[in-house]
Chain A
């Protein structure tokens, strides 16, 4: 049964993959983004921060996969609130206004992460007050808002893919490769923290599964990963090898990294507040990042797989091979 589906934030790697996958199987896909991306799909230019833009895009859609978000590590708090929390609110309200529809709210495991190691963890409830950093807090609020709207005519599934990567990824892969090439890539600690990641195709298939199974999965937040955690040092080195960059040679002890992160955050905060100084959009290290890189993050995928009737089809090794092919 073909649906009309709106994909927001389709200019990113994951959004594009979701839109492509939906279109490939015959759904009627519309994508919404700020600037034209020249893709194969019907485009509705607009900004999720604008209620009118969102309403116009959502109108007539059976379902929305909402990916648009501000994912930066630093930046003014209100920017995150506007895009992540308000944007989601507009999407929910637009769906409700038109009498319903399915919503897949793309979230992140960081919405429930308070800094401790996650070892085979289930999906904990989102905690806007305790999550780390602007991104995680506003995404936590957004997820709560979306799940709160869950209703028979508006089934909502929150999907939290963890560290999505793949060919064409400007976030994780792009930054690692860029830093490695400049010789500025360092490992925090011994690089042994066990880390779950998600190959992009698997994440996209999980989104589509969530859309299809919204009748059973609605009202839940589901963490999605490859289910193959690896030591972070090994993953980074593997990604470097795949993209032809030198593997990391520097090591920063965890406490030092944490201290450096704190210092960097201070500098960024000053830069943001003092007029005339250039804003720093991609700081080399923050406390959040130091913590993320030195504590285990992996999840119990049994519930997700059962509810979604989905399993990752591309293994980490296969994913790395595809990354190498396309780099």
Chain B
């Protein structure tokens, strides 16, 4: 069948060469990353039965040589204008038993240059021919990039009996109707330019590899250009661009549409690996494919471009892991609810109508409104119908960028009413990161105030736009539109209560991303319902209670809990703007029993308490409960809050965007056991209380290298990563298959990234972040306990523990902020050398004594510690460790010069 030739000659045309009988050949040796043993030339009939020479990379012969049986085959199809070289890492990292076949499409790479341009339909036939000749074995997975995508999918649709899965990287099968084709391709396709750009000059070939972020090494770019050195050899590059069916009457239009629709029928597992910074196949093409392949796992690398596997080589590891696991048919869906016990209390995410006439939302700002539960429920239905009219369907994502209040509440419940998904991001992320976060979620519709829509535009957030201003007419208009549709019939035009699946997505939230960009976190409707039930049961929240909602995420739950929500007069995006008077006014307006407020809001309330008049002060005696989450709350602050709200418990739930609440504690009521709480029975850390009902906490103990165990334990005293499971824990990280997979081992548990331990009473103690554990020769050191001890040293206001040096041999460094600091902080402590960063001898010795038995290599002094953007309360130990490392390196003069260069400027990557 297959006719394998020896090294064939490569015909090279002169400048005027016309591509006709150009035969297949082999790449010249020395192309970086390419193993010559993979390369061969195989003859196979093309679409018209003409035998053509194909250059293929194939690990099959090597497997045969090693006597390995083929367990599965991965068929790789490149796009334009690359060649099989694109897949070199995929071949190099193939696990045992995997045959990887990467073809050079006809006219491309080192394959034959046919005289006549190929159409899409022909290319699919061509691929049939070569795969037949290569005698693919076992189940076949396809992998493709760029315009190789439609070709590989066309092949996949014809070979469903052996197709085991598909992997696509930056490609497209369809030009979304509402958007223009990629500008770059359009430009290249301008008839006047096309030949010039694609064939006569190497511009298109070189431009493609110039898209990489960070830039590719020169030798690799040369490798990509190697088969396209003369205009004769580039003819197919231009032909390929010509074959893109933008026009309705294009010869390839029908073939592409057949494929685009056929994809919907593919039920095999799919993985989409994407670099959204692709000027050609950006975000919207990913959205299009997600819509066609709802089963697909997505691995999106926010900062990667067109050649996603070049930009993020670790994507190759990810795709192999995915392929291996998909083949293993363990079919583990990396969802946190896997293996989780069903049942348990739930509270549906809809407006509670226990007390229809009571106010549901009361806005305290000037001109603010009051809406009853019945009115809210009606408005929710109307707006939901209005959204449906705008084309929003169950499962669609709707980003809501509206300040808390009646509008936001209505919108959230309306989106849920429709079975759609709310995307909620918070301005506290910072504007740039907010845009990036929204872009990653790819909403179908962005609803927001004018400022938010402007931001969405400048940060290229996809989706339609809908402007809604607090107190403005826009939402009312949408409701009117919907009301006409409903024509008075309850629920008309909306899905019934059982029509939306429980495990459908309900919300996308974002982590603060204190390290790295914010991560999207997806909750199903069932998980939201479970979270509601946990909140209700943990804090005894009952319908009819009144709540002051100064903490956005929880505040939205008021209507579902049947609680009246008062929105105080403040800038909710800046929690620090809540004054004591505004809080008191809100409490008084609804006779509030519960207050939700961020720690920063509480800080400002305490700071502005002086200005309270007697009536307001009296009102604050009402609430029975203050809830504060989002960041650690200092005990001293809580004690001040209790003086101001004397009847209130101050609960500080512990949790994260991915799981909230995990545990809760009122640190002020621990009373005489307070020393126990703060000192931790000698072991230190922060006590966050016992796990709440419905949450299981396990500790994955750290080994000598600081690596957490695979399985969690519950023995007291074991220090390790904190794992949680519960019905209200997140479903998954959005479009980040690798992160999700890592975060949920063993399945059903969520790895929090925090380290800590359980004590004898079953209470959880947090000892820091896993990423901040110092990995020394004598085992791991968690930061909080040492910091607790060091803070007790006289003259030290606060301290942070970081590690320097390579993992496993790290040294502990303590950075202290002196209590007395002014212009010359170190001198106040008696430092011998002006402006020194080394702690003076006495302080260093005292810190070492306090830290014992943990050995401290250096004690450094700073005026302040770097903190995170969002909460301004978590010490950025990663930045601090970098700083300490630089200080303790002591650099050579040459090293100092290098540091003066622009940050990250000349960075070479390995191939």
Within A176-217, the residues touching B (CB, 8 Å) are: 187, 189-194
Choose one: A115, A117, A192, A302; the contact of B838 (CB below 8 Å). Answer: A192
What's the Cα separation between A185 and B841 when bound, in Å?
18
What's the Cα separation between A249 and B809 when bound, in Å?
33
List of A residues within 8 angstroms of B833 by Cβ: 187, 190-191, 233, 251
List of B residues within 8 angstroms of A251 by Cβ: 833
* Contact digits for A281-307, partner B, Cβ 8 Å, 1 yes 0 no: 000000000010011101111100100
* Contact digits for A221-246, partner B, Cβ 8 Å, 1 yes 0 no: 00000011111111001100100000
A4 interface residue per 8 A CB criterion: no
* Contact digits for B395-426, partner A, Cβ 8 Å, 1 yes 0 no: 00000000000000000000000000000000
B896 interface residue per 8 A CB criterion: yes
A125 interface residue per 8 A CB criterion: no
Question: Looking at B841, B844, B888, which has the most chain A CB atoms within 10 Å of its CB?
Answer: B888
B837 interface residue per 8 A CB criterion: yes
CB within 8 Å for A190 and B806 given contacts A231-B858, A255-B893, A258-B893: no
Chain B: minimal CB distance from A197 (Å): 12
List of A residues within 8 angstroms of B855 by Cβ: 228
Question: Looking at A190, A192, A229, A302, which has the most chain B CB atoms within 10 Å of its CB?
Answer: A192
Q: Which residue of A lies closest to B803 (CB)?
A: A120
Please state if B892 and A194 are interface contacts (CB–CB under 8 Å): no
Choose one: A191, A234, A298; the contact of B811 (CB below 8 Å). Answer: A298
A116 interface residue per 8 A CB criterion: yes
Q: Which residue of B lies closest to A293 (CB)?
A: B890
A247 interface residue per 8 A CB criterion: yes
A260 interface residue per 8 A CB criterion: no
Please state if A296 and B838 are interface contacts (CB–CB under 8 Å): no
What's the Cα separation between A299 and B833 when bound, in Å?
28
Please state if B890 and A189 are interface contacts (CB–CB under 8 Å): yes
Please state if A295 and B891 are interface contacts (CB–CB under 8 Å): yes
Please state if B893 and A254 are interface contacts (CB–CB under 8 Å): yes
Please state if B890 and A193 are interface contacts (CB–CB under 8 Å): yes
Please state if B777 and A232 are interface contacts (CB–CB under 8 Å): no
Chain B: minimal CB distance from A177 (Å): 17
Please state if B838 and A120 are interface contacts (CB–CB under 8 Å): no
Please state if A237 and B841 are interface contacts (CB–CB under 8 Å): yes
Within B843-897, the residues touching A (CB, 8 Å) are: 844, 848, 855, 857-858, 860, 885, 887-893, 895-896
List of B residues within 8 angstroms of A190 by Cβ: 833, 836-838, 887, 890
CB within 8 Å for A193 and B889 given contacts A229-B857, A247-B832, A300-B777: yes
List of A residues within 8 angstroms of B806 by Cβ: 119-120, 300
Choose one: B809, B860, B893; the contact of A301 (CB below 8 Å). Answer: B809
Q: Chain B interface residue count: which class?
A: 20 to 34
List of B residues within 8 angstroms of A187 by Cβ: 833
Please state if A194 and B811 are interface contacts (CB–CB under 8 Å): yes
What's the Cα separation between A172 and B18 when bound, in Å?
78
Choose one: B808, B809, B811, B858; the contact of A192 (CB below 8 Å). Answer: B858
CB within 8 Å for A233 and B809 given contacts A190-B833, A194-B857, A294-B890: no
List of A residues within 8 angstroms of B97 by Cβ: none
CB within 8 Å for A119 and B832 given contacts A192-B858, A231-B858, A233-B838: no
CB within 8 Å for A192 and B888 given contacts A228-B855, A230-B857, A300-B806: yes
Q: Which residue of B lies closest to A117 (CB)?
A: B889
Please state if B777 and A227 are interface contacts (CB–CB under 8 Å): yes
Please state if B841 and A234 are interface contacts (CB–CB under 8 Å): yes
Please state if A294 and B858 are interface contacts (CB–CB under 8 Å): no
Please state if B857 and A119 are interface contacts (CB–CB under 8 Å): no
B805 interface residue per 8 A CB criterion: yes
Please state if A234 and B809 are interface contacts (CB–CB under 8 Å): no
Q: Which residue of B lies closest to A188 (CB)?
A: B890
Please state if B777 and A295 are interface contacts (CB–CB under 8 Å): no
What's the Cα separation between A211 and B860 when bound, in Å?
40
List of B residues within 8 angstroms of A238 by Cβ: 841
Please state if A237 and B889 are interface contacts (CB–CB under 8 Å): no
Chain A: minimal CB distance from B855 (Å): 6
Please state if B889 and A191 are interface contacts (CB–CB under 8 Å): no
Please state if B832 and A117 are interface contacts (CB–CB under 8 Å): no
* Contact digits for B776-805, partner A, Cβ 8 Å, 1 yes 0 no: 010000000000000000000000000011
List of A residues within 8 angstroms of B857 by Cβ: 194, 228-230, 298
Choose one: B811, B837, B848, B892; the contact of A294 (CB below 8 Å). Answer: B892
Q: Which residue of B lies closest to A299 (CB)?
A: B809
What's the Cα separation between A207 and B470 when bound, in Å?
78
Please state if B811 and A237 are interface contacts (CB–CB under 8 Å): no
Chain B: minimal CB distance from A307 (Å): 14
B810 interface residue per 8 A CB criterion: yes
Within B346-370, the residues touching A (CB, 8 Å) are: none
Please state if B888 and A231 are interface contacts (CB–CB under 8 Å): yes
Q: Which residue of A lies closest to B890 (CB)?
A: A193
What's the Cα separation between A294 and B888 when bound, in Å?
9
List of B residues within 8 angstroms of A294 by Cβ: 890-892
Please state if A116 and B808 are interface contacts (CB–CB under 8 Å): no
Please state if A120 and B836 are interface contacts (CB–CB under 8 Å): no
Within B823-837, the residues touching A (CB, 8 Å) are: 832-833, 836-837
Chain B: minimal CB distance from A158 (Å): 20
Choose one: B810, B844, B890, B891; the contact of A120 (CB below 8 Å). Answer: B810
What's the Cα separation between A238 and B860 when bound, in Å?
16
Please state if A231 and B838 are interface contacts (CB–CB under 8 Å): yes
List of B residues within 8 angstroms of A298 by Cβ: 805, 811, 857
Chain A: minimal CB distance from B242 (Å): 55
CB within 8 Å for A295 and B892 given contacts A192-B837, A227-B777: yes
Please state if A120 and B889 are interface contacts (CB–CB under 8 Å): no
List of A residues within 8 angstroms of B837 by Cβ: 190, 192
Q: Which residue of B lies closest to A189 (CB)?
A: B890
Question: Looking at A117, A120, A296, A299, which has the most chain B CB atoms within 10 Å of its CB?
Answer: A120
List of B residues within 8 angstroms of A305 by Cβ: 777
List of B residues within 8 angstroms of A302 by Cβ: 777, 808-809
Q: Which residue of A lies closest to B855 (CB)?
A: A228
Please state if B841 and A116 are interface contacts (CB–CB under 8 Å): no
Q: Which residue of B lies closest to A301 (CB)?
A: B777
Within B805-823, the residues touching A (CB, 8 Å) are: 805-806, 808-811
Within A97-126, the residues touching B (CB, 8 Å) are: 115-117, 119-120
What's the Cα separation between A317 and B848 when bound, in Å?
10
Residues of chain A having any CB pair with chain B under 8 Å: 115-117, 119-120, 187, 189-194, 227-234, 237-238, 241, 247, 249, 251, 254-255, 258, 291, 294-296, 298-302, 305, 317
Give 15 pairs: A residue, B residue, CB < 8 Å, sorted on A. Answer: A115-B892, A117-B889, A119-B806, A119-B885, A120-B809, A190-B838, A191-B833, A192-B860, A194-B811, A194-B888, A251-B833, A291-B892, A294-B891, A295-B895, A296-B888
The 5 closest A-B pairs by CB, nearest first: A193-B890, A120-B805, A300-B809, A120-B809, A194-B888
Residues of chain B having any CB pair with chain A under 8 Å: 777, 804-806, 808-811, 832-833, 836-838, 841, 844, 848, 855, 857-858, 860, 885, 887-893, 895-896
18 more CB-based (< 8 A) A-B contacts, given A190-B887, A231-B838, A298-B811: A116-B895, A117-B891, A117-B892, A117-B895, A120-B810, A190-B836, A192-B837, A194-B858, A194-B888, A229-B857, A231-B888, A232-B890, A233-B836, A237-B832, A237-B841, A300-B777, A300-B808, A302-B808
